[in-house]
Every structure is written in C-alpha cells, then in structure tokens.
Amino acid sequence: CYILAVETSCDETSASVVKNGSEVLSNIISSQIDTHRAFGGVVPEVASRKHVEVITLIMEEALEKAGVTPDELSAVAVTQGPGLVGALLVGVVAAKSFAFALGKPLIATHHIAGHIYANRLVRELRYPCVALVVSGGHTELVLMEREGHFRLIGRTRDDAVGEAYDKVARAIGFPYPGGPFVDKAALESPAAEELPRVWLEPDSYDFSFSGLKSAVLNLVNRSKMKGETPDYGAIARGFQESVIEVLVEKAIRAVRSTSAEQLLLCGGVAANKGLRAALTERCGREGVELIIPPLAYCTDNAAMIGAAAYLKWQTGEYANLSLKADPGLSLEAWSVE
C-alpha cells in the first residue's frame, strides 16, 4: 500500500509517500517560518497564500523522491483538521483534485492522530497505550485501547504547552517560534527560578499552563521595573522544569492507571531536549516502554499523516469529493469504526 499524504494545517506545506503505514519513502517539508517570523507568529492569510504557491510542487517532489508513479498509489490522504481553516483548505482541495483525477480513494486524516502515529514510524504499537500530545495548539493525554481508537483522558484547560513556550520566549526576546530557544537557554543555565507547579485536582489528567506563564511574565516585568536585567536563563530553566515535572508525572500516572504497554510522546514540543531526557530517564527507571519520534517527525510533517491514514485504508473508510476542511475536527470521533 502506497499512500501519498498531504499536510497544510498551519505553516508547513508537506507531502510524503508512506508504504504500509510505517515506511517513509519521502517526506518533503516546506516551512514558512522565515515569512512569519517578522510578524512574531503565524499570519493565517499569508499561510494560505504560501501553501497555494508550493503545494503542487511539493506533491510532485514527494512522488519523485519516493520513486512511485501516480498510478502505483493506493490512496491520497490529507489533513482535514484541526488547524487554520484557510491553510487546511489548500491541502484538502489539492488532495481532492489529485485523487479525483487519478481515480484513487481519498482519506480524510486528523492532525493529532497524525502526531500520535508518528510513533508508528519508529516501531509497532502495542495496546493499550497512552500518548502524551504536546504541540503548539494541544496538550493532551490520549488513551488508545486498540488500534485506531482514541479516547481523551486529559487536556489543557487554558494554554497549550507550545503556546506557553512561545509566549515565554517572546517575553525573553527570542524569535518566533521560541520553544527551541527556551529549551536551549534552560539547559545551559546554571541557576533556576522557583516557579509554581499546577497539578489541579489530585486525580485529574488535565493541565493548566496559563498561571505558570503569568508567573514568568511577572518576574520579567518586576526586574525590568527595578531597572535590572532579568536572569533569562534562570527563568527559562525554572519554566521548563515546572512544565516537564507536571507532564512527566501525569503521563506516568496515566500509564500506570490504564496498565498501558507503551507511552508515546508526540507533537512539536516532543522536540524539547529536556522533556525527551526527563521522560527517557523516568521511563527507564520505572520499566515503562517509551517511544519518541525522531525530530523530523515531531513538528508538522506529512509522513505522520500517511501513517495515520493507513488505519482508514485498512478499514476502507474513504472520504468523497464533498470533503471539507474542519478546523474543529474531533479526535475521538475520527476513531476507526
């Protein structure tokens, strides 16, 4: 089975050919980060226009690099949501046209199912398993009792982790997206600010990061008002330590209480060096099997979409030409039948 997958949910235009849901034959990514950096964040209208400019080329390049002809494709898959509606629309229209012209099945795919299935590109999944999703727009604990079945057991009540990272980075003065800069500053700082950990109710798997973010902004502003230069390294390290402690603790508790076989880390913040190291150490100590995708499959890419789409190829759940981009698409509802 050869799936051509397309991803345009935010500011990466990507296309990939994935064989049997697990073998990446090509994964072409065109990032718009340099364009959006000047604005300090993603500008939706600009993102859509950039996707339109490159999408056809990126799809052709993915096929060429994979050495697969359009005729040999089994299906065309695309991210239907969640994401920016105008950005999603470009991928959906491109994938629809391509599938229709070739007479191939079309598979509507969920962006977060994609992030989770990036782990399938590393190793076979065993069930039940728990996924810790940490990205720019999501912070969730997802239980998969069987293949292709998603149940949300925890979610953020305010900011997503990536969002908090980017806001803290902006206060420090790092360029967008600031997550990787905060990560680096945190690991290099000899000192750490003491910042709060937000656990919520004792048995809750939910998260809250807006209080922590505000605590960071207050520290920065208080120093500046006193005419001092804030110790940005110590602030970054204190922030990162708080985030990691809560994420690791709740993920391990979710694994224990569901008797999960594996813990999967995914989403853009899964690229965080401190988080990868802390989870690896903790899982090693507790004998929990952990999968972490390589960096290229953590941030947005189409290979992960091809891996998730394979679920629906197996069950034959195809979309038709009335498919519409859905910025609020539900992960649980996307579960296979």
Structure tokens at 95: 């994938």
Q: How many residues bind Mg ion (CB under 5 A)?
A: 3
Minimum Å distance from CB 294 to ligand ATP?
A: 13
Query: Least distance to ligand ATP from the beta carbon of 298, Å?
Result: 7
Site stretch for Fe ion (CB under 5 A), options 64-72, 133-141, 205-213, 286-294 = 133-141
Question: Is 27 within 8 Å of 296 (Cβ atoms)?
Answer: yes
Closest by CA position to 142, among listed 122, 125, 163, 167: 125
Q: Is 306 annotated as a binding residue?
A: no
Binding of residue 163 to Mg ion (CB under 5 A): no
30 among the known binding-site residues? no
306 binds, among ligand ATP, Fe ion, Mg ion, none (CB under 5 to 8 A by kind): none
| By the rule CB under 5 A, 300 interacts with Fe ion | yes
Using an 8 Å Cβ cutoff, are 246 and 160 in contact?
no
Choose among Mg ion, ligand ATP, Fe ion, none what residue 138 binds, the Cβ cut-off being 5 to 8 Å by kind: ligand ATP
How far, in Å, CA of 43 to CA of 328, rounded? Answer: 19
Q: How many CB atoms lie within 10 A of CB 208?
A: 18
- Is residue 273 within 8 Å of 298, Cβ to Cβ? no
When the beta carbons of 11 and 206 are compared against Mg ion, the nearer one is 11
* Residue 135 binds Fe ion, judged by CB under 5 A: yes
Radius of gyration of the chain (CA): 20
Q: Is 91 annotated as a binding residue?
A: no
The interface with Mg ion within residues 292-331 (CB under 5 A) comprises 300
Nearer to Fe ion, 42 or 185 (CB): 42
Strand partners, 142: 131, 152
SS3 156: strand
Question: Beta 289-291 vs 262-266: how paired, if at all?
Answer: parallel
300 is in an annotated binding site: yes
Look at residue 159 and give the partner it binds from ligand ATP, Mg ion, Fe ion, none, a contact being a CB closer than 5 to 8 Å depending on partner kind.
none
Q: How far apart are CA 311 and CA 335, in angstroms?
A: 9
Between 104 and 242, name the residue whose CB sits nearer to ligand ATP.
Answer: 242
Give just the sign of the alpha carbon dihedral 209, 278, 131, 11.
positive
Q: Which is nearer to Mg ion, 91 or 233 (CB)?
A: 91
Nearer to ligand ATP, 99 or 305 (CB): 305
- The answer to whether 85 is annotated as binding is no
Q: Which DSSP category does 198 fall into?
A: -
Which spans of this chain sit near ligand ATP (rule: CB under 6 A)? 9-10, 82-83, 111, 115, 135-138, 162, 165-166, 177-180, 183, 267-269, 271-272, 299-300
CB nearer to ligand ATP: pick between 27 and 68: 27
Choosing from 6, 10, 84, 265, the residue that interacts with Mg ion (CB under 5 A) is 10
Q: Is 133 exposed, middle or buried (0-12, 13-18, 19+ CB in 10 A)?
A: buried
Q: Is 272 annotated as a binding residue?
A: yes
AA letter at 48: S
**Residue 130 in tokens:** 């728990």
User: Are residues 154 and 206 in contact, defined by beta-carbon separation less than 8 angstroms?
Assistant: yes
Strand runs labelled E in the chain = 2-7, 12-19, 23-31, 75-81, 106-110, 129-134, 139-144, 151-155, 262-266, 289-291
- Please choose which of Mg ion, Fe ion, ligand ATP, none residue 98 contacts, taking the beta carbon within 5 to 8 angstroms, the exact cut-off set by kind: none
Residue 11 makes contact with Fe ion by CB under 5 A: no
Show binding-site residues for Fe cation. Answer: 111, 115, 300
**Interacting residues toward Fe ion by CB under 5 A:** 135, 300
Q: Pick out the residues of the known binding site for substrate.
A: 133-137, 166, 179, 183, 272
Q: List interacting residues with Mg ion (CB under 5 A).
A: 10-11, 300
Q: Tell me the binding residues.
A: 111, 115, 133-137, 166, 179, 183, 272, 300
